[in-house]
Structures are given as structure tokens and as C-alpha cells.
């Protein structure tokens, strides 16, 4: 089951796209062009995205 994806922590956009780059997944905000942490699975990438904090 895929975890629920939270809005972008920078701009609150929900326009988030997932990329599969080789064996790595990364989530990317199409509004502010920020990208989340890379992970080995889509689930993990989403989990890391959701835990991402503002800088």
C-alpha cells in the first residue's frame, strides 16, 4: 500500500510528481521545483517526503 503523500512543505502545493531514476525514487514538487530525499522504493521516498521539514 502506498502511503499518503503530503503537500509540499515549502509551498504547500499538492502537485507532486514521483520519478523513478534508475533504482532510485525521488519526489518532486512541480510548483517550486524542490525535490525530496531519494529512496530505494517509492514507499520510502513518500515516507521521507512526508517527514521532510522546512529549512
**Which residues would be at the binding site for Zn ion (CB under 5 A)?**
8, 10-11, 13, 29, 31-32
Smallest separation (angstroms) from Zn ion to the CB of 16: 8
Question: What sign has the CA pseudo-torsion 33, 39, 42, 45?
Answer: negative
Smallest separation (angstroms) from Zn ion to the CB of 11: 4
Smallest separation (angstroms) from Zn ion to the CB of 24: 20
Contact between 7 and 14 under an 8 Å Cβ cutoff? The reply is yes
Question: Which of 26/29 has CB closer to Zn ion?
Answer: 29
Within 10 A of 25 (CB to CB), how many other CB atoms are there?
22
Amino acid at each position: 500500500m502506498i502511503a499518503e503523500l503530503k503537500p509540499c512543505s515549502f509551498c504547500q502545493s499538492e502537485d507532486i510528481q514521483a520519478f523513478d531514476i534508475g533504482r532510485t525514487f525521488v519526489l518532486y514538487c512541480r510548483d517550486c521545483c524542490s525535490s525530496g530525499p531519494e529512496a530505494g522504493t517509492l514507499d520510502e521516498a513518500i515516507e521521507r517526503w512526508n517527514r521532510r521539514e522546512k529549512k
